[in-house]
Chains A and B, each alone.
Chain A
Amino acid sequence: MLKIEAIIQPSKLDAVKDALLEAGIEGMTILEARGHGRQKGHTEFYRGREYTVDLLPKVKIEMVVLDEMKDKAIAAIGSAARTGRIGDGKIFVSRVDDAIRIRNDERGETAL
């Protein structure tokens, strides 16, 4: 089981969700996040003084999938979220030790 975390532009959320559903991935968690990579922030003005806001709004999507779904998931996210400009985001993959369905205590891959 793999955890896939994707940090994307907020405006791409709908496209990415649709792409993931189409790829057969139904369970995911969406978080509102702030951050930046190499993308510079924007300037705002307060009382005539300029300051840089570099904590930019982002969306983080987390999902845990079977190993064989990894490439499909990454492809779905990538194609839906890509604009080609700095700030598109990143995808991280890590290993998950276990998964449990709370409703009936199912364990392992069938819990996904």
Chain B
Amino acid sequence: MFSTRFRASTVGLFLLFPSLALAQSTPATQADIKALQDSVHAAQMNADNSWMLVSSALVLLMTGPGLALFYGGLVRKKNILGTMMQSFAMMGLVTILWAVVGYSLAFAHGTSFVGGFEHVFLRGVGLAPNTDYAATIPEQTYMVYQLMFAIITPALITGAFAERMKFSGMAVFLSLWSLIVYSPMAHMVWGVGGLLNATGNHIPSLDFAGGTVVHVTSGVSALVTALYLGKRLGYPHTAMPPHSMVLSFIGACLLWVGWFGFNAGSALGSGPLATSAFINTHFAAASAALGWTIFEWFHSGKPTALGAISGAVAGLVAITPASGFVQPFPALLIGLIAGLFCSLMVFKVKAWFRYDDSLDAFGVHGAGGTLGALLTGLFATKLINPAFGANVATGAIDGHWGQVGNQAAGVAIAWVLSAVGTLVLLFLVDKTVGLRVSAEDETVGLDLSQHGEEGYDLNS
């Protein structure tokens, strides 16, 4: 509306007043130029905002129903609703917490470890851009985009304690986790003045879309939770195969497509950087699916659907920190390595250590995120994203080998924060609300014991 009017009037002006081009710079001309600049800026902002709103929707889709279906299909039939409810609960709870205080703790000015309370109740977060983060979109767009990340991160952890966690305990534990682990980690990596902020002067680490903030934190927390809670009844000698690989397959594909919002949306705009991230995301998913499948074909003799989709997810996890920093063929390589590495973690390492990370949240997200963060330090290049300055080497392939060290530092901090924060919260919630369901409830299943419902009633 606004821009069309001005476009028409400026064309009209040039047609009716050809002498304008020869005249000295008059106030009328300056006003016209300013109006043109404003309309160009508005158009750019609208383009960026539309992509960012779509991306926000795509990332939410990853949780509901992407992750809900992916995890839901992998558990036994009696736990399908319980599993899906855990993801859905995050969609509700984290949204409220984020609006009240989570966003502020992550993105307000504060210390190098956590934001302050400047934006509690979203005070000061309006429709004008926050130039600290994204100059071409309303800050509320930025806030809601980041919210979708805050939602999916605790939802990922639910994979580790599948089939044996109380709904009430899970709700309290993950709500507190979001405030005590997620917001501070997000602040350190992306927040103004954050310890690990790429543009800061402490430990500049590169995490384009949340390899460390989302996947390392959730993966490590998942491992700690799995160890604390203990194994499911009957694990490992009772076979507990997925009750519906169909649901998991659909969920995994939704994750793949949604991840375009997760990674390409992290460009915070609709320009060429979003294209780079989009392509890298897709390439890594494809090569990782192949990598896992190849490993499994040799290991077990048959390529399973579960292996293929797990591989794709592993590749998507690993490319997450690298997506806006690397070139397409390194992205293919990152995916392939992730597929091979994560399948090894899940097939061998889990069995050696004998922990029951039911849905491989650590094997895929924790391990994949760690691997991806380090490979980002290797393959990040100023040719794609001059993150440290116009002609400044970004990663190792530019010559800046020290970046791998920075990445390792960031990952180490994430490991420590996640492990310690999770352990403290588990202990607290266990002693108050309680964490694990009773043996009887676990046998009957979460659907009936926690929700009084059945997922499937095919005889009705």
Contact = CB atoms under 8 A, between A and B. Distances in A.
Interface of A: 44-51, 53
Contacts of A49: 236, 347, 351
Interface stretch (B31-39, B163-171, B202-210, B297-305): B297-305
Contacts of A51: 239, 241
A48 B241 contact: no
B346 interface: yes
Contacts of B360: 47
A48 B343 contact: yes
The residue in A44, A47, A49 that gathers the most chain B C-beta atoms within 10 A of its C-beta is A47
A47 B358 CA distance: 11
A47 B241 CA distance: 9
Contacts of B242: 46
A90 to B, nearest CB: 27
B239 A46 contact: yes
Interface in B274-301: 296, 299-300
> 4 nearest interchain CB pairs?
A48-B347, A51-B239, A46-B241, A45-B300
Contacts of A47: 306, 346-347, 350, 360
B351 A46 contact: no
Q: Interface range on chain B: under 10, 10 to 19, 20 to 34, or 35 or more?
A: 10 to 19
Contacts of A46: 239-242, 306
B302 A45 contact: yes
Contacts of B350: 47
B171 to A, nearest CB: 28
Contacts, number: 30
A47 B344 CA distance: 10
A54 to B, nearest CB: 10
A25 B347 CA distance: 54
Contact of A48 (B236, B239, B240, B299): B299
B294 to A, nearest CB: 13
A46 B240 CA distance: 9
A46 B306 CA distance: 8
Interface string B240-260: 111000000000000000000
11 contacts: A45-B296, A45-B302, A45-B304, A46-B306, A47-B360, A48-B296, A48-B300, A48-B307, A49-B347, A51-B241, A53-B239
Interface string B132-154: 00000000000000000000000
A50 B283 CA distance: 31
Nearest to A51: B239
A47 B308 CA distance: 11
A43 B72 CA distance: 23
A45 B306 CA distance: 9
A33 B129 CA distance: 64
A44 B241 CA distance: 9
A69 B300 CA distance: 51
A44 B242 CA distance: 11
B275 to A, nearest CB: 35
